[in-house]
Amino acid sequence: MSEGERLTELAKRRGFYFPAAGAYGGAAGFWTYGPQGAALKSNVEDAWRDRFVVREGHQEISAPDVMPEPVFEASGHLDGFDDMIIECAECGATHRADHLVEDNTDIEEAESLPNEEVMDIIADHDIACPSCHASLAGEPVDNFNLMFETNIGPGTSSPGYLRPETAQGIFVEFPQLSEYARNQLPFGVAQIGKAYRNEISPRKSLVRVREFTQAELEHFVDPEEDEPPLSEVEDVILPLYSAESQQADDGGVEHLTVGEAVADGVVTSDWVAYYLGVAKGWYERIGVDMDRFRFRQHLPGELAHYASDCWDAEAEIDGDWIEITGFAYRGDYDLEKHAEHSGEDFTVFKQYDEPVTVERPTVDPDMSYLGPEFGGDAQTVADALEALAERNPEAFDGDEVTVEVDGDSFTVPVAETNFSVEEVTENGEHVRPHVVEPSFGVGRLVYTVLAHAYTEDEVDGEERTYLDLPPEQAPTTVGVFPLMDKDGMADYAREIAGALREAGHSVTYDDSGAIGRRYRRQDEIGTPYCVTVDYESLEEDTVTLRERDSTDQKRVSIDGLAETLERLTEGETTFDAL
Amino acid sequence: MSEGERLTELAKRRGFYFPAAGAYGGAAGFWTYGPQGAALKSNVEDAWRDRFVVREGHQEISAPDVMPEPVFEASGHLDGFDDMIIECAECGATHRADHLVEDNTDIEEAESLPNEEVMDIIADHDIACPSCHASLAGEPVDNFNLMFETNIGPGTSSPGYLRPETAQGIFVEFPQLSEYARNQLPFGVAQIGKAYRNEISPRKSLVRVREFTQAELEHFVDPEEDEPPLSEVEDVILPLYSAESQQADDGGVEHLTVGEAVADGVVTSDWVAYYLGVAKGWYERIGVDMDRFRFRQHLPGELAHYASDCWDAEAEIDGDWIEITGFAYRGDYDLEKHAEHSGEDFTVFKQYDEPVTVERPTVDPDMSYLGPEFGGDAQTVADALEALAERNPEAFDGDEVTVEVDGDSFTVPVAETNFSVEEVTENGEHVRPHVVEPSFGVGRLVYTVLAHAYTEDEVDGEERTYLDLPPEQAPTTVGVFPLMDKDGMADYAREIAGALREAGHSVTYDDSGAIGRRYRRQDEIGTPYCVTVDYESLEEDTVTLRERDSTDQKRVSIDGLAETLERLTEGETTFDAL
């Protein structure tokens, strides 16, 4: 069994995740998180909120999943958020055409090729339908928009879409959010929520799904003035797989500190470098194995047209590298698009320390001259004169001025333009912020953390499976068992479980089956500690405390048990030191 | 301004909530929670999870928002989840026909009338289109399904729907969830997540929206054996507005304890009564004003056909009673429907303490007799004999036995039926659990808590607005200000803010504007305490601690400030006692 397969088996059996609506055969790409998975996911989200929102001083919002069409006209998703689809004429199955090419030829990144070329390659290689094995040669390759469409209200006059990324819920509200930040840059707005992509071929359990959770931060910065606090992370070592390395025959991952990566120009955006440094420590905290982790730079062909530098955090599972986060410097692309489409102001007014007096050249062309002279072109000429005055006031220094409109030249006496230079006092300027975006896929993080935590060993001659999850992330921090359900042991154990719960621990009480089986059950869901109440407990008020990874056991006092567990889970002491 | 209007104004100005995608004119019924609203909503959800999941020992899951069609064929939403719609021929606007009737006549509950009758009433009263005032007489009244529809995957062969309630994500996974509970009843599964209803006329800000958050608990119980722990809540006093009171001319709210309500048969389900008791205390905890609160029983006409008793928790705002929770005893309706449609087993196998020997009558009719005798009816007759043997074995006591099939009688010699009674040992039986469902609308809870917290008073001759939110629910628990941004006060205040944050408090640092304005800002978002750093702080390590509701101020030591705030917010001490 592959790593992914045995994880999927454990995930279903122990309540981490399983295909949704299985009673009806399910729908590919939709997963339900069971009790353990929902708790783990929630713990990952809390850790993210703690690090990327609270500690960074950002704010969190919650926007709707369904958004009206104009939002996606502006964002570009309506026109450009497509995958290449090919339909089998024989069986009707649909496939991602670029994936077929990648799976059946040596070509990589087929996504960046034109549809016609992909169609030709499929014909040349006589690639067959993976479902029925009929030839796909000659079948058209089309664009398929990945957004789920619906209608808002009765009828079809108001199309709506399930957001394909949580980010748009932040961008579109920038004018309002900027007010909450009192129009002071920089400020960051985060959101944890669902996003939806109608994938043609969902696969790899939680990796390519149709409904998923994103944790996105949009950090709005003044590109002229704001600098990230690089010093806080400059010594963090980053495993970097640069575009250059990827293109070189013998390239590999380089280990550079954040400081070095910036100084050497490997990471070109200081802001991106800052977040790579912050994120590195966070991945370690939630249990990503750093030996199976890298930051990979986007190749030039892969880079979104608006992004100047983009890095993915990738985790290795089953020999594949899976993107778990994208770090992008998006410039002012998003805010500019929404400003253009909505006609609203997506800027921040930056007040100067002191008012500034500037010279502003203006024209006020005499239309009673331009009209008779240029007829239907008069207004266009007037507009061109205005633009020229702003751009190049020196052009008005002579007696005549010439403007070009659609290839034609028009010459006008300067006197008829009423050119003048006014002195204007300005208190500030409108700045369109740039956006730095770390965008995390929560399901993929959960999947990675589980895959990297999955461990098999041998205990007392028997094979054992356990998850070595960090205590902070584990769905349950302590399992409490009575050795047997008699002589008051169960009542005492329930009382201890209640007290530990009161103290803030996540507790499971279990009194069913042999004690060894109960330990295994907790091992498989990654519970770091178990407490067993036995006959000695009744007499001496002590319990057996057992550590997951070593399976070592110690007798500890019930008095102070909650604090002992707290110090253990927070890393303030070790089991050996007890 | 109405209570709702002034709340909506505050909510937008201070970042609680505002209409989504306003830059594009928005889409009715969709709201974005700003930083304060998202925090308040999240606090309400955490309090719910603490009370209804953790303390009750239930489990929480997270299922997809998009679900395939068969789920809603089974649940009944595809056929029956409709509102009455009428379209104006003049302007094309669509309206809820039953609401038009209720708004323009004395008729209540128009929803329960047939469409034709509603159409007639509209004609008789010549009700006009609220948008363009044209007459709606003669326009047809149709059913409009409230589910948002979309397509899963390419093409239209797999319709999917945005779930109209989170509950279905639990019911449909019962076979799997029951395994996680090791097939032991009772067990409860909860979910907090989005639900969607394509309302014809969204209104009243967060009350009637198209996308909302539900917190639902499905408690699966053995109807024969399981009893709620009523003793834990029997003395809780419930404000009950029974169906009987609603129908009586002079009826009103009765105040009964849970114990009395059960004993008097006012609340017929013990389980519902238990959850009314639990919920009552929880509403108080999150800040619902108990003087503006009641539990209202569904009227017979209002009751869903599957529910035997149903109560709504209602809160009063602007003189309207708003449903914030529904408590229903749903019987086995949901599991039975999913079992029927999916063909899967939606039961729990209940093991007997000891195996039981039962007599099982069986038949094995001789088809070589039945075939020639009854022709095409032979198999039907055989099935009828089998059913009869199970139902009434005495019918086989004589020489002949007669069965009725579709009105025809068929008589068969008992010898040809091979009737016999076998002794069978049974280890247990399959039980279809009943479901008790408390279903909370999180947005309506947030709206209610805000409306009930909204307070105006006068401080030093000036009008003041503040939210008297319980500290546990407040988006921010403490605001930290330097008196002025000089002489190190700002640095010291930032240091204190950081330390309080480390200690787990939700902290806002604010150094802009006059100190009075900063207090007002925190008052308006319901921050219970503010800390001001002044010159004295620099010398004596004390700060001014200010209480929101009284606006009283005290000097307290910085040493121990985090603990002081914790004891205050947890109600372990009072401001006066400091």
Residues of B whose CB is below 8 A from A162 = 66, 150, 162
What is the Cα–Cα distance from A94 to B394, expressed in whole angstroms?
60
Q: What is the pLDDT of residue A188?
A: 98
Q: Are B505 and B565 in contact (CB under 8 A)?
A: yes
Q: What is the pLDDT of residue A314?
A: 98
Q: Does domain B476-569 have CATH number 3.40.50.800?
A: yes
d(CA B158, CA A29): 13
pTM: 0.90
The residues facing B361 across adjacent strands are B421
The CB density around residue B376, as the number of other CB atoms within 10 Å, is 7
**What's the gap between Cα A270 and its chain centre?**
19
Assigned CATH class of B82-144: alpha beta
Q: What tokens appear for A146 in the block?
A: 């990945």
Placement of tokens 């995740």 in the chain: A17
C-alpha radius of gyration, chain B, whole number: 31
Rounded to whole angstroms, the Cα distance separating A204 from A17 reads 13
Tell me the shortest Cα–Cα distance from B118 to chain A, in angstroms: 19
Q: Nearest 5°: phi and psi at B361?
A: -75, 135
DSSP B287-352: T--GGGEEEEEPPTTTS-TT-SEEEEEEEEETTEEEEEEEEEEEETHHHHHHHHHH-----EEEEE
Q: Name the residue of chain B whose CA is nearest to A62's CA.
A: B33
More confident position, B301 or A324: A324
Closest CA to B35 of B17, B20, B23, B22: B17
- Assign A465 a pLDDT band (cuts: 50, 70, 90): very high
Reduced to 3 states (helix: H, G, I; strand: E, B; else coil), residue A126 is: coil
Are B23 and A94 within 8 A, CB to CB?
A: no
Dihedral, CA atoms, B124, B129, B134, B135, nearest 10 degrees?
-10
How wide is the angle at C-alpha A341 spanned by C-alphas A336 and A343, nearest 5°? 85
What ipTM was reported for this prediction? Answer: 0.90
Does residue A89 carry a pLDDT above 80?
A: yes
CB pairs under 8 A between A and B: 208
Kindly identify which residue of chain A lies nearest to residue B175, measuring between CA atoms.
Answer: A23
Looking at beta carbons, which pairs linking B37-40 to residues 24 or more positions away fall under 8 Å?
A: B37/A61, B37/A62, B37/B11, B37/B446, B37/B475, B38/A60, B38/A61, B38/A62, B39/A60, B39/B475, B39/B476, B39/B506, B40/B16, B40/B446, B40/B449, B40/B450, B40/B469, B40/B473, B40/B474, B40/B475
- In order, the DSSP letters of B71-122 are HHHHHSHHHH-EEEEEE-TTT--EEEHHHHHHHHSS---GGGS-HHHHHHHH
Percentage of chain A exceeding pLDDT 90: 82
Nearest CA in chain A to B14: A180
Does the distance separating the beta carbons of B175 and A23 come in below 8 Å?
yes
| pLDDT score of A439 more than 90 | yes
> Shortest CB distance from B342 goes to which of A23, A30, A67?
A23
Check if the beta carbon of residue A321 is closer than 8 Å to that of residue A252.
no
**Alpha helices (H) along A32-188:** 35-48, 69-75, 77-80, 97-104, 115-124, 167-171, 174-180
pLDDT tens readout for residues A291-305: 999 999 998 877 776
Q: Which among A23, A27, A200 has the least Cβ separation from residue B154?
A: A200
* pLDDT at residue A495, rounded to an integer: 95
Every domain of chain A and the residues it spans = 3-81+146-332+436-442, 82-144, 359-431, 476-569
State yes or no: pLDDT of A565 exceeds 80: yes
pLDDT tens-digit series, residues A13-24 = 999 999 999 999
Helix, strand or coil, per DSSP, at residue A163: coil
CB-CB neighbors (< 8 A) of B20 in chain A = 63-64, 67, 169, 172-173
What distance in Å separates residue A471's CA from the closest CA in chain B? 19
Is the confidence at residue A39, as pLDDT, over 90? Answer: yes
A359-431 sits in which CATH class?
Answer: alpha beta
Q: Cα(A235)–Cα(A261) distance, rounded to whole angstroms?
A: 10
Distance of CA A542 to the CA centre of its chain: 46
Distance, in angstroms, between B108 CA and closest chain A CA? 24
Indicate the residue of B22, B33, B196 with minimum beta-carbon distance to A62.
Answer: B33
**Is B62 in contact with A33 (Cβ distance < 8 A)?**
yes
Going by C-beta distance under 8 Å and a sequence separation of 6 or more, which residues neighbour residue A481?
A: A493, A509, A510, A511, A515, A518, A530, A531, A532, A533
Contact A30 B66 (CB under 8 A): yes
Residue B33 and residue A175: Cβ atoms within 8 Å? no
Residue at A382: amino acid letter: A
Q: Spell out which residues of chain A touch residue B171, defining contact as CB-CB under 8 Å.
A: none
The DSSP output letter for A462 is: E
Hey, what are A21's tokens? 């609506």
Q: Are A31 and B64 an interchain contact pair (Cβ–Cβ within 8 Å)?
A: yes
Q: Is the model's pLDDT at A307 over the cut of 80?
A: no
At position A20, the amino acid (one-letter code) is A
Buried-exposed string A343-374: b where 16+ CB fall within 10 A, e elsewhere: eeebbbebeeeeeeeeeebebebbeeebeebb
- Residue B204's pLDDT is what? 75
CA B43 centroid distance within chain: 17
Which are the contacts of A183, defined by CB distance < 8 A and separation ≥ 6? A348, A349
B196 CB neighbours in chain A (<8 A) are: 66
Provide, rounded to the nearest whole percent, the portion of chain A with pLDDT above 70: 100
Q: Note the CATH number of domain B3-81+146-332+436-442.
A: 3.30.930.10
pLDDT given for residue A112 in this prediction: 86
* Strand partners for A308: none
Q: What is the 8-class DSSP label of residue A128?
A: B
Please name the member of B62, B150, B501 whose beta carbon is closest to the beta carbon of A150: B150
Of A116, A16, A71, which is closest to residue A526 (Cα–Cα)? A16
CB contact under 8 A, B154 and A87: yes
Handedness of CA A161, A165, A169, A175 (dihedral sign): negative
Those residues whose C-beta lies under 8 Å from the C-beta of residue B156, and which sit 6 or more positions away, are: none
pLDDT at B309: 85
**Mean pLDDT over the full length of chain A:** 94
Confidence band (pLDDT; 50, 70, 90) for A286? Answer: very high
B148 contacts in chain A (CB < 8 Å): 66, 150-152, 160
pLDDT at B218: 98
CA distance B370 to chain A (A): 38
pLDDT tens readout for residues A141-186: 999 999 999 999 998 889 999 999 999 999 999 999 999 999 999 9
User: From the first residue on, what is the mean pLDDT of each consecutive set of 10 residues in chain B (578 residues)?
Assistant: 91 97 95 98 96 93 98 95 94 93 91 92 94 94 96 94 98 97 95 97 88 98 95 97 90 94 96 98 97 95 77 96 96 96 95 89 90 89 90 90 87 91 91 97 98 94 95 96 92 94 91 93 97 94 96 95 94 92
CA distance A68 to B24: 9
pLDDT at B573: 94
How close, in Å, is residue A41 to chain B by CA atoms? 9
pLDDT tens string A494-545: 999 999 998 889 999 999 899 999 999 999 999 999 999 999 999 999 999 9
C-alpha dihedral over B350, B356, B357, B361, to 10 degrees? -30
